[in-house]
Amino acid sequence: MQKVSIKNPDMAWSISALILFPPEFDKTRQYPTLVSVHPFGSCKEQTSGEVYGKALARNGYVVIAYDASYQGESGGSPRWIENPSQRVADISHVIDYAVTLPYVDADKIAALGVCGGGGYALNAALTEKRIKAVIGITPVNLGRLFREGFSNFSPLATLGAMGTQRTTEARGGKLQVNELLPLSVEMAEENGMTERDVFEATDYYKTPRGQQPGGATRMVFSHAQQTLSWDAFNFAELLLTQPMMVVVGQKVGAFGAYRDGLEIFGRATASADRQLVELEDWSHYDLYDRQKPVGLAMDRILPFLKAHLGTESAQRKLENVS
């Protein structure tokens, strides 16, 4: 594994990423490559890198797991901005970097995202045709979630509050940084916050199970305005032409991944090969790191990638590589 800093001329900051290598990696050969996109409020050291990134690398792929702009160890200020347009642009910036690496086969790049990262990966594939296959693991359309549950189903009132807060900040007031989850499982229980997704997210992000310094689960409230007008699946019927796989758990929670997964599967009619994987008895956060559901997902992901990228860990010999 190698940590790198990705600088792009379109940005005033760098993206921090981990490159995960297959066993017996040979820098004189080219490999199929996955860009791994972390969830909303997460970081590269959590499920996108530690779980799916490592599993894919063990099976012959180079994987680049990175922190979104404004989050984790990547640059951008103020911190903890969640901007869907920037999140999707980050994927292209990472691919720009990947295609400069001599061991990356530029014709065999795929994107995989978890939760909100799944929605971003699917959206990126609409216009980023260097992505040859795309996988959404319990994908969430963050725009839909913000217009509904995250705004208490009052998006216009939320936009008004965001505008008021932004004016306060422009006049020198403090940033409003919202904590997205209870601070502990005990706090969730004490306050009756036991809805499946909220409670299981707290169990993942606020305990040693998944807790990482970069996974802040925070968001700057005033800078999330664009999220309410964004839709991960807009134009999917026309533009999502690549092979696509969606993996969802049938234990439904309030964040709506099951609904979103079925929606994009139904809408992606132009996809060259669309596959829906439903895992009975497993939930959204089970698919982050629980051994059995992740294993079931990988049992479907690996044949899918083999069909569309190949799995030979050494794709072809390069000339003149020192």
pLDDT in tens, 239-256: 999 999 999 999 999 999
Find the mean pLDDT for residues 289-318. 82
Distance from C-alpha of 126 to C-alpha of 303, rounded to nearest angstrom: 23
pLDDT band, very low/low/confident/very high, at 10 (cuts 50, 70, 90): confident
Retrieve residue 110's tokens.
């795929």
CA-based torsion, 292, 275, 227, 148: positive or negative: negative
Find the mean pLDDT for residues 279-287. 97
CA-based torsion, 201, 206, 207, 211: positive or negative: positive
Tell me the per-residue pLDDT of 144-186, one tens digit each, with 9 for 90 and over. Answer: 999 999 999 999 999 999 999 999 999 999 999 999 999 999 9
pLDDT, residue 319, reads 35
Retrieve residue 83's tokens.
């901007």
- Percentage of the chain lying above the pLDDT 70 cut: 96
pLDDT, residue 311, reads 60
Residue 315 has pLDDT above 60, yes or no: no
Helix (H, G, I), strand (E, B), or coil: what is residue 182? coil
Retrieve residue 225's tokens.
């305005």
State the chain's mean pLDDT as an integer.
95
DSSP assignment, residue 4?
E
Tokens 């965001």 belong to residue? 162
pLDDT, residue 9, reads 81
C-alpha pair distances (Å), 79 with each of 72, 74, 93, 172, 184: 9, 10, 19, 17, 22
Tokens 């990482």 belong to residue? 212
What CATH code would you report for 2-151+231-308? 3.40.50.1820
Residue 281 has pLDDT above 50, yes or no: yes
CB 65 within 8 A of CB 20: yes
pLDDT band, very low/low/confident/very high, at 321 (cuts 50, 70, 90): very low
Sheet holding 62-66, edge to edge: 2-7, 14-20, 62-66, 31-37, 104-114, 131-137, 244-251, 274-283
Distance from C-alpha of 277 to C-alpha of 265, rounded to nearest angstrom: 10
CB 266 within 8 A of CB 235: no
pLDDT, residue 313, reads 42
pLDDT, residue 11, reads 86
Tell me the per-residue pLDDT of 52-107, one tens digit each, with 9 for 90 and over. Answer: 999 999 999 999 999 999 999 999 999 999 999 999 999 999 999 999 999 999 99
Distance from C-alpha of 61 to C-alpha of 71, rounded to nearest angstrom: 25
